[in-house]
């Protein structure tokens, strides 16, 4: 069978990225222009600024992806693009660019769900991985436990009822003065702290659900900090970071292992920015060993937003005949499995 080369574009948040991916698994190039330095000044992503930055760099990023792969536009078989969920203005920049490219080379356009892209990062890292498996998707905007039954078939088993895992990391990091993005900073600082120093709550729902919640945990950290300030008590930031992280990771790991038992699956893949967290990885591996479950994760560069993962997801849509036309629109709150 002929190799399928997909040019993929991702602009759903604050990374402008373009990649060339062959047959959904082999990455020829994956160019990522991060806007993090600009948004750091504001303590988080400013949507309008993100859209403008995407416009400024997208042409150069796409060209670099082609150059690095040593391909011309005419060598491409299809153009894949994230059409949701994400920031509407940011999504539109990538989509307009992708539509124009697909039209100009007369090749199909494929709309990709960003969350599906995060999951598919695992197909790049693990060349033989096939569904069924359970995937824990934990990023700045989303937290889901997903059962991937077959290629392109997803069942959401649990999700956050409020804050996403990455959002909780970012908010707690800001409260203890670590800055944005908080996840990697808490990850690092926690190594110097005692994770059992402070007992932060784990949300339990009494309705047989595998949903989870992090806003109570975040509030508990904020209350702890306020109380310490009012009473003049010195806080140990590393202990706060490590204890917060343990509470969050415990809930995720518990629920994802329960999902595997329920679905009788022996593989967990993790995805999204928080999937590069060292405590989450170590805890999952330890619990996985106890329960005979294999834990798979992508390299950190494939965990955070990137176009290679979109190129992988686009390939599986393409082989299932799911291409889009030029009326494809951005869907900021696109759900997983929705088309």
Please give the annotated binding residues for Fe cation, written as ranges: 114, 118, 305
Q: Which of 17, 113, 122, 139 binds Zn ion (CB under 5 A)?
A: 139
Q: Percent helix, strand and coil across the chain, each rounded to 5?
A: 45, 20, 35
Specify the residue, 110 or 173, whose C-beta has the smaller distance to ligand KG4.
Answer: 173
Please give the size of the binding site for ligand KG4, defined by CB under 6 A.
19
Q: Which residues between 190 and 219 bind ligand KG4 (CB under 6 A)?
A: none
d(CA 334, CA 327): 16
What are the φ and ψ backbone dihedral angles of 138, each rounded to 5 degrees? Answer: -130, 110
Structure token digits, residue 220: 């508990």
Is the link from the previous residue into 87 a cis peptide, with omega within 30 of 0?
no
Residue set of the binding site for substrate: 137-141, 170, 183, 187, 277
| Residue 98 Cβ vs ligand KG4, minimum distance, rounded to whole Å | 18
Residues in the chain: 339
Give the residue with the Cβ less far from ligand KG4, 29 or 245: 245
Provide the minimum distance between the beta carbon of 305 and Zn ion in the complex, in angstroms, as a whole number. Answer: 4
Cβ-based neighbours of 273, under 8 Å, separated by 6 or more = 138, 139, 140, 166, 181, 183, 303, 304, 305
Binding-site residues sit at: 114, 118, 137-141, 170, 183, 187, 277, 305
Q: Is 181 in the site for ligand KG4 (CB under 6 A)?
A: yes
170, burial (CB in 10 Å: exposed 0-12, middle 13-18, buried 19+): buried
141 forms part of the interface with ligand KG4 (CB under 6 A)? yes
CB nearer ligand KG4, residue 35 or residue 304: 304
**Which among 300, 275, 331, 306 has a CA at the least distance from the CA of 15?**
306
Tell me the C-alpha distance between 330 and 319, whole Å.
Answer: 22
Residue 187 CB, nearest distance to ligand KG4 (Å)? 4
Q: Which of 220, 224, 286 is nearest to 248 (CA)?
A: 220
**If binding is defined by CB under 5 A, does position 305 make contact with Zn ion?**
yes
Question: Which residue among 274, 307, 314, 324 contacts ligand KG4 (CB under 6 A)?
Answer: 274
Instruction: Say whether residue 169 binds ligand KG4 (CB under 6 A).
Output: yes
| Residue 251 partner contact from ligand KG4, Zn ion, none using kind-dependent CB cut-offs of 5 to 8 Å | none
Site string for Zn ion, 31-50 (x = CB under 5 A): --------------------
* Residue 136 contacts ligand KG4 per CB under 6 A: no
CB 65 within 8 A of CB 308: no
Report the residue number, 262 or 299, with the smaller CB distance to Zn ion.
299
Among 163, 170, 211, 239, binds ligand KG4 (CB under 6 A): 170
261 alpha-carbon distance from chain centroid: 24
3-state secondary structure of 214: coil
What are the Cα distances from residue 174, in Å, to 13, 197, 203, 213, 279? 20, 20, 22, 19, 20
Query: Cis omega before residue 181 (within 30°)?
Result: yes
Contact between 272 and ligand KG4 by CB under 6 A: the answer reads: yes
Question: Which lies closer to ligand KG4 via its Cβ, residue 111 or residue 166?
Answer: 166
* Burial class of 38 by CB neighbour count within 10 A (0 to 12, 13 to 18, 19+): middle
Return the one option of ligand KG4, Zn ion, none that residue 24 interacts with (CB less than 5 to 8 A, by type): none
Q: Which stretch binds Zn ion (CB under 5 A): 126-134, 137-145, 154-162, 181-189?
A: 137-145
| List of residues contacting Zn ion (CB under 5 A) | 139, 305
* Residues lying near ligand KG4 in the complex (CB under 6 A): 13, 139-141, 166, 169-170, 181-184, 187, 272-274, 276-277, 304-305
């Amino acid at each position: 069978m002929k190799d399928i080369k997909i040019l993929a574009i991702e602009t759903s948040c604050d990374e402008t990225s373009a990649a060339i991916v062959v047959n959904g698994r082999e990455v020829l190039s994956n160019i990522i222009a991060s806007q993090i330095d600009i948004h750091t000044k504001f303590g988080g992503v400013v949507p309008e600024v993100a859209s403008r930055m995407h416009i400024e760099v997208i042409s150069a990023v796409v060209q670099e992806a082609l150059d690095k792969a040593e391909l011309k536009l005419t060598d491409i078989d299809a153009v894949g693009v994230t059409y949701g969920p994400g920031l509407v203005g940011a999504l539109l920049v990538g989509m307009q660019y992708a539509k124009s490219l697909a039209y100009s080379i007369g090749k199909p356009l494929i709309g990709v769900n960003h969350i599906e892209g995060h999951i598919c990062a695992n197909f790049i890292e693990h060349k033989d991985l096939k569904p069924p498996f359970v995937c824990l998707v934990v990023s700045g905007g989303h937290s889901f436990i997903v059962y991937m039954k077959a290629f392109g078939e997803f069942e959401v088993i649990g999700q956050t009822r409020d804050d996403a895992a990455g959002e909780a990391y970012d908010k707690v990091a800001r409260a203890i003065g670590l800055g944005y993005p908080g996840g990697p900073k808490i990850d690092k600082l926690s190594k110097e702290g005692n994770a059992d120093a402070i007992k932060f709550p784990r949300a339990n729902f009494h309705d047989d659900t595998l949903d989870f919640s992090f806003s109570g945990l975040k509030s508990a950290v904020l209350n702890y900090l306020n109380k310490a300030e009012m009473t003049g008590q010195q806080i140990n930031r590393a202990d706060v970071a490590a204890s917060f992280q343990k509470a969050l990771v415990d809930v995720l790991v518990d629920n994802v292992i329960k999902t595997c038992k329920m679905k009788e699956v022996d593989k967990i893949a993790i995805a999204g920015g928080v999937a590069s967290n060292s405590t989450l990885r170590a805890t999952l591996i330890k619990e996985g060993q106890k329960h005979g479950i294999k834990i798979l994760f992508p390299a950190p560069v494939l965990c955070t937003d990137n176009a290679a993962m979109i190129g992988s997801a686009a390939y599986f849509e393409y082989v299932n005949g799911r291409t889009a036309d030029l009326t494809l629109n951005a869907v900021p709150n696109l759900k997983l499995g929705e088309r």
